[in-house]
Amino acid sequence: MRVKLYGLLDCNNFFVSCERLFRPDLVNQPVIVLGSNDGVVVSRSEEAKKLGVPMGAPFFKVRDIVKENNIALFSSNFELYRDVSDRVMSVLNDELGEVYQYSIDEAFFQFSEKDQISAVSELLRLKQVIEKKVGVPVSLGAGKTMTIAKYASENEKRKSGAAVFYGQSWQELTAEISLNEIWGIGGKTATSMREHGLNTVADLLAAPENFIVREFGVHGSRLCAELSENAAHQPTERKGLQKSIMHTRSFSKTTESLSALEAAVTYHIERASEELRSIGGKAGSLGVQLQTNRYSDWLLQSGRQEIILPTPVSDTRTLLCYALALTKVLYRRGIPYKKAGVVLGRIIPADAVPVCLWEEEESMNDDTQLMSVIDDLNTRWGNDAITFGRVKRGGQLDHDQHRSPCYTTRWNEIRKIKN
DNA sequence: TCTGGGGTCCTAGGACCC
DNA sequence: TCTGGGGTCCTAGGACCC
């Protein structure tokens, strides 16, 4: 009788590990990677963690630690990370036949083994193959549900790199695992659970079911199922297109000007619709968001409004027309805005758009050919080659002065061994 | 001075209908 | 005096994740 298990592969400190692939001098040295605009810390090496750099910390708060300890610093280089990620996934796919990528650095899979020992050795084998063929360190975990697999991989990161928990070995652990270590329990839920006297996984499993449903909804009851080894989540291949595309960015300084917000929204629509076309989709809904600084004490934290489009489109001009109208509706004079963004939702494949029955709806622009010419030009000459913006956008240029070369995806940035 | 961006899913409550 | 109520659809906002 073989045991069916869910496995999870997780790349350790992924962005840092990608940087180290081409900078072996940084192995065993403290390294951090910053998020877009060099705003916050998004990845830390073990050494940087030990020096006290918290995850998600705004850079200005850790600048001193970075300087004093000579921590190596990188801006995010997603082109590189995506390429390394593709290599990891492809090797894993070759080994297992079917994997479900969950994020840029994680993938779930299913397998079965005769016992715990052979399951652990299978995970260790996969670890070895990935590390040899791609070169980034990984951890693996497995259990009877995805939530337990996730816990197993996280927990083992700093130990042997692979762990399997099910049956007795899992049940024995539940009294020691605090709920905030569990996937799906964030800050708010953990606090609320604590207030109800629930601190460990064992506490949660001992609570009456109707209480869980009343206090924590379907989310809570699924968690309970998962933690008692009854699978409530299935790893699913995302069928078809993603559901939404968003494009947002903070301003370096707050702005009260409508035209600045319009310029930003124009830019976001251009980029989001470009991506929409690149995946072959059309959007059935459109949302605009304007936000004040969430760290200031302004009452108005955010305004967001969404509309359903008369018919799904991917033409920048049409989307822009609606987006600017929404921006005007949301805009309030005298409010210091910090962030603007757009969301394209209800995405369907372009060839699945129903044919228009009424002539007048054709007045909506949806010219695929024109858009594809513009996309080509922008790819070739940069995003500002053809724009629909009436105002030059300002204050949004990316800071990424610490970006490493795209070693694996751009010929002119390839690693030189000899001049 | 400087506090990310891109996603998914769930839910409360409003609008509307009969 | 009593001042409907149940159902459905929609969306803004929240929580969480990486």
Return chain A residues 319..338 having CB < 7 Å to nucleic acid strand C.
none
- The predicted-structure confidence for A312-333, as pLDDT tens digits, reads as follows 999 999 999 999 999 998 898 8
pLDDT at residue A393, as a whole number:
47
Answer yes or no: is A402 within a domain: no
pTM for this entry: 0.91
A115 and A229 co-located in one domain: no
Return chain A residues 210..239 having CB < 7 Å to nucleic acid strand C.
none
Given A237, A254, A289, the domain boundary residue is: A237
Residue with nearest Cα to nucleotide C17 C1': A184
Position A152 pLDDT exceeds 90: yes
Residue A93 sits in which domain range? 1-165
A268 and A302 co-located in one domain: yes
| Strand nucleotide closest to residue A301 (CA to C1') | C13
- The predicted-structure confidence for A46-64, as pLDDT tens digits, reads as follows 999 999 999 999 999 999 9
A232 and A255 co-located in one domain: no
Answer yes or no: is A376 within a domain: yes
pLDDT at residue A301, as a whole number:
64
Residue type, A52: G
Position A394 pLDDT exceeds 70: no
**Chain B bases under 7 Å from protein CB?**
1-12
Number of domains in chain A: 3
Our measurement of CA A246 to C1' B16, in angstroms, reads 30
A102 and A137 co-located in one domain: yes
| Strand nucleotide closest to residue A296 (CA to C1') | B3
Answer yes or no: is A403 within a domain: no
A17-22, long-range: CB within 8 Å, 24+ apart, which pairs? A17/A136, A17/A137, A18/A77, A18/A80, A18/A81, A18/A84, A18/A136, A19/A72, A19/A74, A19/A77, A19/A80, A19/A404, A20/A45, A21/A84, A21/A135, A21/A136, A21/A407, A22/A404, A22/A405, A22/A407, A22/A415
pLDDT at residue A303, as a whole number:
80
A149 and A182 co-located in one domain: no
Answer yes or no: is A414 within a domain: no
A1 and A141 co-located in one domain: yes
Which tokens belong to A88? 């990891």
Position A196 pLDDT exceeds 90: yes
Given A165, A192, A219, the domain boundary residue is: A165
Could you tell me the CATH number of the domain that includes residue A200?
Answer: 1.10.150.20
Mean pLDDT of A103-130: 97
A59 in Cβ contact with A39 (< 8 Å): yes
A255 and A385 co-located in one domain: yes
pLDDT at residue A194, as a whole number:
95
Beta strand residue intervals within A348-406, DSSP E: 348-349
Our measurement of CA A215 to C1' C1, in angstroms, reads 39
Cβ neighbors of A263 (< 8 A, separation 6 or more) are A389, A390, A391, A392, A393, A394
A289 and A187 co-located in one domain: no
A182 and A273 co-located in one domain: no
A163-166, long-range: CB within 8 Å, 24+ apart, which pairs? A163/A120, A163/A123, A164/A5, A164/A116, A164/A119, A164/A120, A164/A123, A165/A141, A166/A3, A166/A5, A166/A116, A166/A142, A166/A229
pLDDT at residue A159, as a whole number:
80
A123 and A1 co-located in one domain: yes
pLDDT at residue A396, as a whole number:
47
Our measurement of CA A304 to C1' C9, in angstroms, reads 20
- The predicted-structure confidence for A334-378, as pLDDT tens digits, reads as follows 888 999 999 999 999 998 876 655 544 455 677 778 888 888 888
Answer yes or no: is A412 within a domain: no
Answer yes or no: is A408 within a domain: no
Mean pLDDT of A278-282: 94
A180 and A265 co-located in one domain: no
Could you tell me the CATH number of the domain that includes residue A372?
Answer: 3.30.1490.100
A183 touches strand C (CB under 7 A): yes
Say which residue, A224 or A251, is predicted with more confidence.
Answer: A224
Q: Predicted confidence band at A155 (pLDDT cuts at 50, 70, 90)?
A: confident
A178 and A283 co-located in one domain: no
- At residue A254, what are phi and psi to the nearest 5 degrees? -65, 155
Share of chain A above pLDDT 90, in %: 69
**Chain C bases under 7 Å from protein CB?**
10-18
